[in-house]
């Protein structure tokens, strides 16, 4: 009887254990690359000394270039054109917040963040642009933030004492994300000697919404511009590099984006 009773108990335990494991497995969902991936990027941006080193390297290079440019005679006032987000202001807390909620980017959640006026600065950026201004070089901020973000954007720039943080020098997104027409507007009265950004479309329209292979080709074709006129800041949280992977179809479900991304990765 004891043996039969023991066997019965073992069988019952195994059945219950299997049910628990099956129940647990059905509740586990695979993390999404497009919602959880940016969290690792934010960790790197906030905690990696290598991130800071790359930013300092970019702005040190820019200062060397600017000093050489200032030695040359010029026929127009000089200007620098810079992006804002992940180029001079750090928005990694937004990415942490969104990833922990398993959410993708949305304009509404982004505006909640920018209204906080709580960005840190990207290492090296503030001191460089203050230096440029001290040499008589104007600074223009061309960003794809929306017009309704003008007030909080100016507040964030001004509280850090970025130069030329005025309405005239802050050029926000109006029609379309392409920055070419806005750069042309600055170039009508100034000689743009350098551009700064974390996304290739911050530098030239040849990169706008192009597929991955064409982005690569244009990058190779313009290799001499990087470090001379184009100063790139690191951003592994988001950007057109990601959108190009699924052909900028941002409305696709996260799971479908994940499948497209993983299907195109080298692996063994």
Rounded to 5 degrees, φ, ψ at 91 are -110, 20
Is the per-residue pLDDT at 235 higher than 70?
A: yes
Is the per-residue pLDDT at 85 higher than 60?
A: yes
Check whether domain 31-263 has CATH 3.40.50.1000, yes or no: yes
Token code pair at residue 157: 């720039």
Assign residue 82 a region (left: φ > 0; alpha: ψ between -120 and 50; beta: otherwise): beta
Mean pLDDT of the chain: 91
Nearest of 229, 234, 184 to residue 46 by alpha carbon = 234
Computed over its alpha carbons, how large is the radius of gyration of the chain? 24
pLDDT band at 174 (very low <50, low <70, confident <90, very high): confident
**pTM beyond 0.75, yes or no:** yes
Contact 233, 51 (CB under 8 A): no
Is the per-residue pLDDT at 26 higher than 60?
A: no
Nearest of 127, 250, 142 to residue 194 by alpha carbon = 142
Rounded to 5 degrees, φ, ψ at 176 are 85, 155
Token code pair at residue 38: 């940016």
DSSP string, 204-221: -GGGTT--HHHHHHHHHH
Is the per-residue pLDDT at 193 higher than 60?
A: yes
pLDDT tens track for 87-119: 999 999 999 999 999 999 999 999 999 999 999
pLDDT tens track for 114-139: 999 999 999 999 999 999 999 999 99
pLDDT of residue 30: 64
């Amino acid at each position: 009887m004891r043996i039969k009773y023991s066997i019965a108990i073992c069988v019952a335990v195994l059945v219950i254990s299997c049910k628990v494991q099956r129940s647990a497995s059905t509740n586990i969902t695979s993390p999404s690359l497009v919602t959880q991936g940016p969290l690792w990027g934010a960790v790197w941006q906030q905690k990696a000394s290598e991130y800071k080193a790359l930013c300092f390297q970019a702005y040190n290079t820019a200062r060397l270039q600017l000093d050489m440019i200032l030695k040359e005679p010029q026929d127009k006032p000089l200007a620098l054109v810079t992006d804002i987000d992940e180029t001079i202001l750090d928005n990694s807390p937004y990415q942490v917040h969104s990833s922990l909620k398993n959410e993708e980017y949305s304009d509404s959640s982004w505006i909640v963040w920018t209204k906080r006026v709580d960005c840190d600065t990207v290492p090296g950026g503030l001191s460089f642009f203050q230096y440029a201004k001290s040499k008589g070089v104007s600074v223009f901020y061309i960003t794809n933030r929306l017009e309704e973000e003008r007030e909080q954007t100016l507040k964030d720039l001004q509280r850090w004492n970025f130069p030329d943080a005025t309405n005239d020098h802050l050029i926000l997104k109006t029609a379309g994300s392409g920055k070419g027409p806005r750069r042309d507007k600055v170039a009508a009265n100034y000689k743009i000697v350098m551009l700064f950004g974390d996304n290739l479309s911050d530098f030239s329209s040849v990169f706008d919404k192009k597929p991955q292979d064409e982005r690569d080709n244009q990058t190779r074709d313009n290799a001499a511009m990087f470090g001379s006129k184009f100063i790139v800041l690191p951003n592994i949280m988001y950007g057109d590099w990601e959108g190009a992977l699924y052909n900028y179809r941002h409305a696709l479900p996260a799971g479908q984006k994940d499948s497209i991304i993983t299907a195109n990765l080298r692996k063994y």
